[in-house]
Amino acid sequence: MDKHNVSLPVKIIIYTVMIAFTALTVYPILWLILQSFKTNTAYMTTNKLSLPMRWYFGNYPYVLIQGNYLTFFKNSVIYSAITVPAVVILSNMAGFAFAKIPFKITKLFYGVFIVGILLTLQSILIPLFLMVSAAKLHDTRLAVIIPYIALGLPMGIYLCTDFIKSIHNELLESARIDGAGFLRIFWRIVFPMSAPVSVTLAIITFTGTWNEFILMSLMISSEKYKAIPYAVGRYAGSLGSDYGKLFTSLTVALIPILIFYFIFRNQITKGVAAGAVKG
């Protein structure tokens, strides 16, 4: 549809809807940040939607220093920095093999990975815990890093396989004629061309790893290996919550996700557009 041929009433409706969706998206974030500048008493005794009557900045030093937040933040960075590249690279490698290197058993292996999409974390927690304990990895970073990577692969392989199928075989065959092996073809041709789906997968994996709580709580006992979701949960309980510190910890946890999104927002748009065109 040519935007120059759109009538004024249609434009007004379109922009109204876009502004409404933007407001619905941005307002909760702004509300969260504003509530972090309230004390627990102020939050409980004033209108929940009101601005702080007195701006209180003590929540941030308390959460960051006394709450040992920097340790949890460091662990979240470590888990994400290892999990995201591993899932992206392994998913692309497997996707390349399933899409462009046919064998009789390829479809069977691909189907086994795809079945993993149907499995929920809750359904495999007990056997996963027993396996981690038997391997003597409980209460270590590997106890969550390895499951994070394994849980991210089914969806990653599905996305990458579907995307790599769209790469023309003639391009890969010409590289084979020039003497390039499969590994070189992957790193020089396939992986760079898969950048849109790789960035989309990285966003999905990063947000999932950054916000994961159940697996980390089960596999790790000591605080020195726990991540940000545990830090957030410490300020909310069945017997009472410190809402000022809770909103502060949520605000700090949200910052890396927003930064990650703004850095790669163009690649995300390209990835979504590429999937739409392909479909």
Contact of 143 with 217, CB cutoff 8 Å: no
Flag whether pLDDT at 173 surpasses 80. Answer: yes
Contact of 204 with 210, CB cutoff 8 Å: no
Q: Is residue 63 part of a domain?
A: yes
163: domain CATH number? 1.10.3720.10
Q: Is residue 265 part of a domain?
A: yes
Per residue in 100-145, pLDDT (tens digit) is 888 888 888 888 888 888 888 888 889 999 999 999 999 899 999 9
Q: Is residue 230 part of a domain?
A: yes
Q: Is residue 208 part of a domain?
A: yes
Structurally, the chain folds into a number of domains equal to: 1
Relative orientation angle of helices 106-115 and 69-100, to the nearest 10 degrees: 150
The Cα–Cα gap between 217 and 223 comes to 10
Q: Is residue 198 part of a domain?
A: yes
Q: Is residue 96 part of a domain?
A: yes
Q: Is residue 33 part of a domain?
A: no
Per residue in 20-58, pLDDT (tens digit) is 998 998 898 899 898 889 888 888 888 877 888 888 888
pTM over 0.85: no
Range(s) of the domain holding residue 258: 59-278
Q: Is residue 218 part of a domain?
A: yes
pLDDT grade for 279, boundaries at 50, 70 and 90:
very low
Give pLDDT, residue 276. 45
